[in-house]
Amino acid sequence: MNLRQTKIPLFFLAPTILLLTLFVIFPVVNTVYISFLDEDDAFVGTANYEKMFSKRDFWNPSNLIEGKAPPYGALVHNGIWIVLHLPLSLFFGLLLALLLRDVKGGAIIKSVVFLGMVIPMTVGGILLRFVYNDKAGIVNEFLRVIGLGDLTRTWTAYPQTILLALILGTVWIWTGFSMIVYSAGLEGIPKELFEAAKIDGASRWRRFWRITVPMLRPATIIVITMTLLWELKIFDIVWVIQQGGPGGASMVMALMMYLEAFLNRSFGTAAAIATMLTVLTFGFAAYMVYRMVKE
Amino acid sequence: MVIAPWPSWILDLAEDGLLADVSAQVDSSKFVQAYLGPVTSGGAVYAAPFKVSGKPGFWYRESFFADNGLTAPATYEEFTTLLADLSEIEGVEAAVASGNGDGWPLSDTTEAFIIGLGGYQLQENLISGATAFTSAETKAVFEELADLLQAGYFSVPDDWQTQLQRLYDGTYGIYFQGSFVTTLPPFSENLEDIGFFPFPETTGATGSVDYAVMPSVTENMDEARQLIEFLAGAEAQEIMVQEGGFLAANSDVPESAYSPADLQVVQVMQMVNLVSDLDDTIGNPFQQTFWGQLKAFWVDPTMDLDTMLQTLQDDYEASGS
């Protein structure tokens, strides 16, 4: 490759590299740097990270270990979000994609399901406030209709129920994404595979498990990656509903980072939380990209 | 120039050199210490108190009280009797409406109890740190509040503006709120049927103050100072109170400028000691923790008070007050 062949690609890549450096690499590196400084810009080593873990709002697993209600700390709450939200979003997205495939009116139903992804998350949060409201909410009305009126309450007002309410509510919001990705994935599976399997006598379940699931692996990796990143960065819905309360029972890392930086003006601690978030999201994303490339 | 309602945040900015000293623009003899003190540091005043939302007491519908043979209580005993009576009325879900939002409706109500049961000095001492949140006298206030919450006298917190309508509809009997609610429907449309009573036997009241501050790096220093001086003065504040719902911070504003509803609030607040707002003055991280803990306390008054009060004390100390 001669010099001209090297220079020309670099020339075209230069603006992208410049923008990436200015708006991604530099802020990330600077944030990591700030995480090792105090308010007077003096180097304090890992003090901000120790302070982060000493905050009940960030790390409070004793309640979880003792079987009590939240708060468990933002780090644990984000973990619970991943454990519950990810499989449910995957399952319902795949189920809807399968059910609505080749169904008359399926496109319209998919559009309705996808509405959750289209609305701003702050609007989604306000909607969830109403959905879970004791007087106006559809969830409580449903409970009354099926004879479980004793369970009705404003689900977002109680530490015992707010985290679960938020997670289930965001399953509704995010399922549209996984449904669309899986729908596209299903369209990419050659029909001949199913025909051949049918001729060989494979049952519907076997065809699903041996053909559909493996062939959807790239789509699954995309859904898992994007969903994980979204769960780690969740902020607006939590803020709109209860600002991380009541009593820190719905606090998440991104919200805590915001509160530390802009309300408490503790930029070192905020930078420590941001760095931890970056490490977790980058770690997950890098592993998932590696899996995708390998596939 | 910026309007800001958080004195602790204002002082943080001032300490970082980001706000101008406006001592020359503010005639301190026209303002009570409760308004000016929280924005003064090292003898310098960094904000001009502009408008006040008084927190005079519990609002109610006068016709609702009349129809049910109720009267505003003069003593705390009468107050608890009123709560019980309200709870017995058909259609009333809870005696007291509880507002949700960031958390300030609950903190306002709690401060009314702190001042009403513990005296205005307790609130002042909590702000200054002379009394800890873990003290016996502070715990006694929260224990009393816990008893009332466990008795079901307070509603579950809900959108604070929706609760105004529910108060008017008779779903709740009384509602502790700031004087600005007289500018909001349905109160604004039915002022002749709206009344309030102060926390019985209280020795103090708070007001939430909107301050005018001036960045130290503004390009138009002279013009900004002129504006600050105008806003701190009686003329600007008289214009403001004529819009209704808010009180003047400047004592030179005449009573004739107020509407009858607002004048009632002014007169009640003149009879007690004005105290700074607790969480606005202490600031963060205390304020966020205070609001969050109260939200949890309101729906679970059996929670461990010692743990809650220790949490508040820890974040009070972290706030650097």
Encode burial over B271-281: b for 16+ CB neighbours within 10 A, e otherwise: ebbbbbbbbbb
pLDDT per residue as tens, chain A (295 positions) = 566 667 888 888 899 999 999 999 999 999 999 999 998 899 999 999 999 999 999 999 999 999 999 999 999 999 999 999 999 999 999 999 999 988 888 889 999 999 888 999 999 999 999 999 998 899 999 999 999 988 899 999 999 999 999 999 999 999 999 999 999 999 999 989 999 998 999 898 999 999 999 999 989 999 999 999 999 999 999 999 999 989 999 999 999 999 999 988 899 999 999 999 999 988 888 888 887 787 6
Amino acid at B315: D
Average pLDDT over residues B242-249: 91
* Residue B304: φ, ψ to 5°: -65, 115
* Greatest pairwise CA separation for chain B in angstroms: 62
In the prediction, which pLDDT does A80 show? 96
* Burial (Cβ within 10 Å: 0-12, 13-18, ≥19) of residue A97: buried
Q: Which residues lie closer than 8 Å to B108 by C-beta, 6 or more apart?
A: B55, B176, B177, B178, B206
Nearest beta carbon to residue B285 from set A135, A245, A264 = A264
pLDDT at A4: 65
Do the domains at B2-54+206-275 and B57-205+279-318 have one common CATH topology? yes
CA dihedral B10, B16, B17, B18 (to 10 degrees): -50
Q: Chain A within 8 Å of B320 (Cβ-Cβ)? A: no
Is A243 part of the contact surface with chain B (CB cutoff 8 Å)? yes
Contacts of A264 in chain B (CB under 8 A): 284-285, 288
Smallest Cβ distance to B296: which of A247, A259, A265? A247
Name the class of domain B57-205+279-318. Answer: alpha beta
Q: Which of A134, A247, A263 sits opposite B284 (nearest CB)?
A: A263
- Whether the CB of B165 is below 8 Å from some CB of chain A: the reply is no
Instruction: Give the pLDDT score at B203.
Output: 94
Residue A152 in contact with partner chain B when CB distance is under 8 A: no
If DSSP codes are grouped into helix, strand and coil, which group holds residue A206?
Answer: helix
Q: Is B251 on the interface with A (CB under 8 A)?
A: no
Tell me: pLDDT of B128 over 90.
yes
Which of A153, A264, A273 to mutate to probe the B interface, most B CBs <10 Å?
Answer: A264
pLDDT, chain B, mean: 94
pLDDT of B233 reads 95
Calpha distance B50→B139 (Å, rounded): 34
Q: From the CB of residue A53, how many other CB atoms can be counted at a distance below 10 Å?
A: 13
- Pick the residue from chain B with its C-alpha nearest to A132: B158
Give the residue from A169, A164, A176 showing the smallest Cα distance to A116.
Answer: A176
Tell me which of A54, A133, A265, A267 to substitute to probe the interface with B (most B C-beta atoms closer than 10 Å): A265
Q: Confidence class of residue B18 from pLDDT cuts 50, 70 and 90?
A: very high
Q: What is the pLDDT of residue A7?
A: 81
The predicted pLDDT at position A289 comes to 81
Select the residue of B103, B291, B300 nearest A159 (Cβ to Cβ): B300
Tell me: the pLDDT tens digits for B161-212?
A: 999 999 999 999 999 999 999 899 999 999 889 999 999 999 999 988 999 9
Contacts of B159 (CB under 8 A, 6+ apart): A129, B99, B100, B101
**What is the reported pTM?**
0.88
pLDDT score of A2: 64
**C-beta atoms of A243 and B103 within 8 A:** yes
Residues in chain B: 321
Chain B residues with beta carbon closer than 8 angstroms to that of A242:
295
Q: What is chain A's Cα-based Rg? A: 23
Domains in chain A and their CATH numbers? 1-31 (no CATH), 35-294 (1.10.3720.10)
- Using a CB-CB cut-off of 8 Å, the residues of chain B touching A133 are 158
Model confidence at B159: pLDDT above 60 = yes
Hey, of B102, B284, B286, B316, which one would you mutate to test binding to chain A, going by the most A CBs within 10 A of its CB? B284
C-alpha triplet A231, A233, A235: angle, nearest 5°: 100
CATH superfamily of domain region B2-54+206-275: Periplasmic binding protein-like II (3.40.190.10)
Cβ–Cβ contact A41 with B under 8 A: no
Strand partners, B208: B53
CA-based radius of gyration for chain B: 20
The domain locations on chain B are 2-54+206-275, 57-205+279-318
Side-chain half-sphere exposure of B106, counting CA atoms within 13 A? 30
Query: Which chain A residues are Cβ-neighbours of B103 within 8 angstroms?
Result: 243, 245
Contact A247 B157 (CB under 8 A): no
The reply to whether residue A247 touches residue B100, judged by beta carbons under 8 angstroms, is: no
Q: B residues 289-308 near A, CB within 8 Å?
A: 291-293, 295-300
Q: What is the b/e burial string over A6-24, where b = at least 16 CB atoms within 10 angstroms of the residue's CB? A: eeeeeeeeeeeeeeeeeee
Contacts of A166 (CB under 8 A, 6+ apart): A128, A156, A237, A238, A241, A250
B74: closest CA of chain A, how far (Å): 33
**Over pLDDT 70: what percentage of chain B?**
100
Which pLDDT score, from 0 to 100, does residue A103 have? 86
Contact of B284 with chain A, judged by CB distance below 8 Å, is answered with yes
Hey, of A132, A134, A156, A243, which one would you mutate to test binding to chain B, going by the most B CBs within 10 A of its CB?
A: A243
3-class DSSP state for residue A280? helix
